[in-house]
Amino acid sequence: MKSRNGRHRLDEDRIVVLGDTGNHYFDEDVLRLVNLAGRAAIDFDNCDYDDFPDGESKMRIRAPERIKGNHVVIFCSPIDDGLELDLRDLVFAAKQQYRAAKITVVMAFMRYRRQDREEKEHEIHRLYCFLRDLKHWGADTLIVCDPHAEATTLSYGRRIRLKILVADPTYVFADTLRPLVQTYGSSQEVLVYSPDFGSVERCFRLARMLGLPVLATPKIRQPNGEIVSVNNRDFLQQIQEAFGTDVPAFCDPNRARGMHVFMREDEVDSGNTAAKTARRLLEAGARTVHLAATHAVCSPGWRDNLFPPGKEHPFDTVWMGTTRLRDYRLSTGKRVNRIDMAPVVAHELLRVLPYEK
């Protein structure tokens, strides 16, 4: 990883870094890589996290006098309401109260990834609401890793004039999985699998880097949430029109027979759908099935779905990113392979920070 011009160092005097407690070890890894590439020694400015006796937040920025006129970076992982309120307070205080020149929010995992479509009249559009609030609080730039609905997220950012940079982890997955792919000998025996149209672009990116074909189930999720099956030929044409023809693509499930299959997902939540999909691929004749996901949400029950005790596991290997804190309670005795997302996020952060003139 290189700094923006490969030579200049970051202007440490113009950068202030704040952070919440949601995934602080990950944030420290990102900042360490930024310092290494930017030839700097920036550290977190401390925040005092506390509450009043009635539960009202008493959080304070310890050295607010450093903020005025500078570029403030706020690391956050707002996976619950409390952490989201902390983010609100940090952004508002830094920009509106202490007069930061610019606010960049680094949010590796986007909390609102389901309620994101305006076509769904019976849902509150929480993704748009959250992004609009973030802009209103004072954020200028948002860095997010592999959001569930990338195109929608970016379109909302343009609408409210919030600059959004997407940290794309494809090259990290490609570099990590390539040795495993090579153990299978011929690339003609390996493919990347997409369970529906929404995952095709993510799969195309990985397949393109690994030189593999894509198998996509001809399904499209309607605005009302209903999943509709599509004619194979029409679905393939839709894929090629959207993502190009340079990657061989198939829609016939029989293509999985005798193949080693890599499922590329944005997250593992309960793991139930992914496990069912893997079993269908195995029933269709796949030799092995592997799961590679960016965000380890790991909702209750995920462990039994991916690693059912006393039963054959649906996946030969499982790979998850580090954007979500997965402590000992969520561990599996090394059955999940860890893929570090810090370099991906650090790369985007280096694009927006000020450098010495």
Structure tokens given for 261: 């299959």
| Residues 176 and 305 both lie in one domain | yes
The domain of 110 spans 12-169+344-350
Same domain, 145 and 199: no
How, if at all, do strands 249-250 and 227-229 pair? unpaired
**Residue 356 maps to a domain:** no
User: pTM for the complete prediction?
Assistant: 0.93
* Confidence class for position 1, pLDDT limits 50, 70, 90: very low
Residues 6 or more apart in contact with residue 304 via CB below 8 angstroms: none
Co-location of 301 and 213 in the same domain = yes
Q: How many of the other CB atoms lie within 10 Å of CB of 356? A: 13
Q: Would you state the pLDDT for residue 94? A: 98
Q: Are residues 148 and 178 in the same domain?
A: no
When pLDDT is averaged across residues 340-354 and rounded to a whole number, the result is 98
Question: Both 90 and 197 in a single domain?
Answer: no
DSSP-assigned states of every residue in 147-197: -TTHHHHHHHHHHHT-EEEEE--HHHHHHHHHHHHHHTS-GGGEEEEESSG
Same domain, 160 and 228: no
> Which pLDDT tens digit goes with each residue over 33-75?
999 999 999 999 999 999 999 999 999 999 999 999 999 999 9
Q: Residue 5: pLDDT band by 50, 70, 90 thresholds?
A: very low
**CATH at residue 153:** 3.40.50.2020
pLDDT of residue 222: 56
**Both tokens of residue 43?**
């550290």
Half-sphere exposure of 307 (CA within 13 A, CB side): 11
Report the relative pairing of strands 15-19 and 71-76 from DSSP bridges. parallel
Q: Give yes or no for a contact between 75 and 112, defined as CB atoms under 8 angstroms apart.
A: no
Q: Give the pLDDT confidence score for residue 33 in this predicted structure.
A: 98
